[in-house]
């Protein structure tokens, strides 16, 4: 498991450049360009179970959902950041990508630290120290448990 460490204000153009937004929608189309202008090594080397640790305002900018769809499909286990931009946060709920706001965990992380996440108890262990994070409200956990918003909506429609 690798930890990818990034700074503040990682915007949606860095995560997925605008020039590909209207030609790439599926995970396979998205993957080669994921984080292209931020970290050219990311899409080549990312593996299932990897974690991203970032600063504040991660995902600011556009409402494009390719960054979230892409990060989920390459198997990012969670993004831990000081804060997330609102639309990105919402998009992550809709795709079932785990986002954790925990500034202490971000600040205490140094290269080589082991990171463990327990979603049920709302705890992260970074380099042997344990930090708590706020769990999302039940309405949001219901969407995540359904496998994302569209699955949630489709089930609801079928029940009607």
User: Residues interacting with another protein, by CB under 8 A?
Assistant: 9, 11-14, 17-19, 21-23, 25, 36-37, 56-57, 60-65, 68, 83, 85-87, 90-91, 94-95, 137, 139-140, 148-150, 152-154, 156-157
Cβ 64 to another protein shortest distance, Å: 8
Cβ 135 to another protein shortest distance, Å: 14
- Give yes or no for a contact between 71 and 22, defined as CB atoms under 8 angstroms apart: no
**Residue 86 or 129 with smaller CB distance to another protein:** 86
Chain centroid offset of residue 115 CA: 15
Cβ 124 to another protein shortest distance, Å: 21
Give the integer Cα–Cα distance in Å for 69 and 134. Answer: 24
Phi and psi dihedrals of 143, rounded to 5? -65, -45
**Residue 44 or 159 with smaller CB distance to another protein:** 159
Cβ 86 to another protein shortest distance, Å: 5
Cβ 63 to another protein shortest distance, Å: 4
**Residue 14 or 71 with smaller CB distance to another protein:** 14
Q: Which residue has the tokens 């700074």?
A: 7
Residues 6+ apart with CB under 8 A from 70: 15, 16, 27, 30, 31, 34
**Residue 19 or 47 with smaller CB distance to another protein:** 19
**Geometric angle at alpha carbon 88, from 49 and 121, rounded to 5°:** 50
**Residue 2 or 135 with smaller CB distance to another protein:** 135
């Amino acid at each position: 498991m690798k930890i990818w460490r990034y700074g503040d204000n990682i915007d949606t153009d860095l995560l997925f450049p605008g020039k590909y937004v209207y030609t790439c929608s599926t995970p396979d189309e998205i993957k080669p360009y994921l984080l292209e202008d931020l970290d050219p090594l990311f899409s080549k080397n990312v593996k299932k179970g990897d974690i991203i640790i970032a600063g504040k305002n991660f995902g600011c900018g556009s409402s494009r959902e390719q960054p979230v769809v892409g990060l989920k499909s390459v198997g990012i286990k969670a993004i831990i950041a000081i804060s997330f931009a609102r639309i990105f946060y919402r998009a992550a709920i809709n795709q079932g990508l785990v986002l954790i706001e925990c500034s202490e965990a971000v600040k205490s992380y140094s290269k080589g630290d082991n990171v463990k996440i327990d979603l049920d108890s709302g705890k992260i262990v970074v380099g042997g120290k344990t930090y708590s994070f706020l769990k999302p409200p039940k309405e949001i956990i219901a969407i995540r448990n359904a496998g994302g918003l569209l699955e949630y909506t489709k089930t609801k429609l079928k029940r009607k």
